[in-house]
Amino acid sequence: MEMRETLAKKIAWISVISNIILTVGKLAIGWYGNSDAVFADGIHSAADVFASIIVLLVIKIANKPADLEHPYGHGKAEVIVSGVIGILLFLVSIYVVYEGISGFFHEVESPSLLAMWVALFSYITKIILYRSSLRVAKQHKSKAIEAIAFDHKADIVASIAAAIGVLLSIIGERMDIHFLLYGDKAASIFVAYLIFKIAKEMLTEAFDILLERNINSETLQEYIAVINQFEEVKRIDRIRAREHGHYVLVDLRISIDHFKTIKQGHDLAKTIKQKLMNQYDNIEEVLIHLNPYFPEEK
């Protein structure tokens, strides 16, 4: 748990520092270089800075062990952060699309070539950050780090879209193709769509976890296959599992022969629990309820 927290903080700090640099560069060059797309990308990077700071503040809370007041742990703190970031990105997308559409109703000038190079630099940087963040998120099953990775993912396509938009505008001015001048405006709207798409994915997942939606059926079937390895289990009456941030809680009802003693039932339940937790390191708790099984119930 300590290593998980240290890695999460490291990823978050790398994200904060890199995004501050990119934010300042893209906002400044986007503004002075007359590029709405690069400026919009800069706003997104500013949102990333805010998101990473929130993650840094909540990581320690999410990794706290269960206590009397929070018997299921504090994992949902990361989910709440993911939802907050999703809302932030949604608001950013609305602002960017508004600015992009309004630009079509005014005369436009071609952005500077420097804006394109800044967007390309951002593209390369974000690919590196996305891959490294996602790898750590998967290894440690962290929703908070995963949220940072998704932010980087949105920036990857957004940055290359901004670079293409700037390039089209420059080509339009130099070749006197008027409609290409609006390439930068169109790119800013596309950037807004990408930001919105990522926000929607993050909000959907956050709400599913907060509302304790059952985990996907494929994973449940894997759990069932493990349980069915025990001959003493005559029937699985009910199984459900929910994500609680970076870990999973499983509720299980099984039937065993009615003549089994309480001790035998207890030992079986303990063995099944250990088997599931050993095979799936993200399972934090398995609650097993035993029902009596009678042969005539077949």
pLDDT tens for each residue of 25-62: 988 988 888 888 888 778 777 777 776 677 676 666 66
Same structural domain, 45 and 167: yes
Same structural domain, 95 and 243: no
CB under 8 Å to 162, separation ≥6 — which residues? 35, 37, 38, 40, 41, 115, 119, 122, 184, 187, 188, 191
Among 160, 180, 210, residue at a domain's last position: 210
**What residues does 255 pair with on adjacent strands?**
235, 291
Same structural domain, 205 and 230: no
pLDDT tens for each residue of 56-84: 766 666 666 666 666 666 566 667 777 77
Confidence label for 296 from pLDDT (cuts 50, 70 and 90): confident
pTM score, whole prediction: 0.62
> Domain holding 162: CATH number?
1.20.1510.10
Task: State the distance between the two ends of the chain, measured CA to CA, in whole angstroms.
Answer: 45
Token pair, residue 208, equals 């599913």
Same structural domain, 224 and 206: no
Task: Give mean pLDDT, residues 259-288.
Answer: 92
Domain extent at residue 40: 2-210
**% of the chain residues with pLDDT over 70:** 85
